[in-house]
Each structure stands twice: as structure tokens, then as C-alpha cells.
Amino acid sequence: MNRRREFDIAFVGLKPGVHSFDYQINDSFFADYGIQDFNNSKVDVKVTLEKNTSLLLLKFDISGKVDVACDRCANVIQKDLWDEFNMVVKMTDEPDIMNEQEDDPDIYYIGYNESHLHLADWIYEFINLAVPGQKYCGENEDDLSRCNAEVLQKLEQMKSSAQAVSSDIWKDLEKLKRDEDNNN
């Protein structure tokens, strides 16, 4: 688990009730997590924490922008992020066992002796979930693809020449087989 202190909340010292925290996330945040399939990130994460006796209710509001590459033509496109995620943190004597047994990804257990919540990994996960899985340039007003036509044409050419190469291989294989049969 990522333990960067700026993303830790010392909840023990908080009064019961609702508290808010605000995090500005950019590409440097993701450095510890390896290469992402987006960059130029400017993401605002607002965390609302409701403290109860043995339960913490967390809400993560994600908003911002990231640059991604189009799945079809690799053009760089900016995507708006707009999503929210909830997390319930329960206190228990056996957090490790409880976390192992829990199927609900929105429930997390911590021990009664814990004093801090570590938010970095959740922030990482939720921003990634907020980034659209399908990335596409989209269409213009005339319903025509905004994709880079030149790149698409090159990809088409590469595909058909790859097909030509593979059909040549099959022809060669067939010829080889025929020759073998003739020799027998």
C-alpha cells in the first residue's frame, strides 16, 4: 500500500461528523505507479469523510481532465473525468481476515488500533476507473470520424500487406506439400 503522508488522514483526531479534504492530482502522483495510459492529468479529488463510532463513510468526487491516445488512430484527445465513488471503512479486531473474506470492493476493514486512513491507492484506483475504457476521437457535426485519416489509411495498408504476406506463406506451404507428395 502506498503510504505517502500527504494522502493520509489522521481520523482518530477528528470529531464525529462530516469532514472534507481536497487533493489536486497531476502526473507526478502516478510516478510511483508506473506508466499509465493517460497523461497531462489535472484531477481534483474531493473526499468527504463522515466519522461515526466504528464506521467511516468516504465519498470521492473525481473531476478533471486527462490526455489519452485514441484506440484507432493514436491521436491525443483530452477526456473529461467526472465520477464519484463510495467507500465504507469498518473497524474490526481482525481486519486482515475480514478484508480477505469481503467480496464487496466498497468495504474495507481496519483495526481498532489504526489511527490513519491511507487514501493514495484509492485515489489512484478511482481516477483509473474514471478514465473511459474505450478511447475514440468521436465524430464531427457531419457524423464523420475525427480520427487522423492519414494514420488510419496507413494502418489499412499495413493490414492488407500483412494479409498478402500471410497468404503468400500459405501458398508456399501448399507448394511444399505438393512437391513432397509428388516425390513420394
Question: Which residue ranges make up the site for Zn ion (CB under 5 A)?
Answer: 70, 72-73, 75, 137, 147
75 versus 92: smaller Cβ distance to Zn ion: 75
Specify whether the CB–CB gap between 75 and 55 falls below 8 A. no
The nearest distance, CB 139 to Zn ion, in angstroms, is 10
Cβ contacts of residue 180 below 8 Å, gap of 6+? none
The nearest distance, CB 68 to Zn ion, in angstroms, is 10
The C-alpha atoms of residue 170 and residue 17 are separated, in whole angstroms, by: 71
The C-alpha atoms of residue 54 and residue 89 are separated, in whole angstroms, by: 9
156 versus 172: smaller Cβ distance to Zn ion: 156
48 versus 145: smaller Cβ distance to Zn ion: 145
Of 117, 130, 118, 119, nearest in space to 51 by CA: 117
The nearest distance, CB 72 to Zn ion, in angstroms, is 5
Helix residue ranges, H only, the chain: 95-101, 120-130, 149-183
Rounded to 10 degrees, what is the CA torsion of 83, 6, 12, 94? 70
The nearest distance, CB 147 to Zn ion, in angstroms, is 3
The nearest distance, CB 155 to Zn ion, in angstroms, is 11
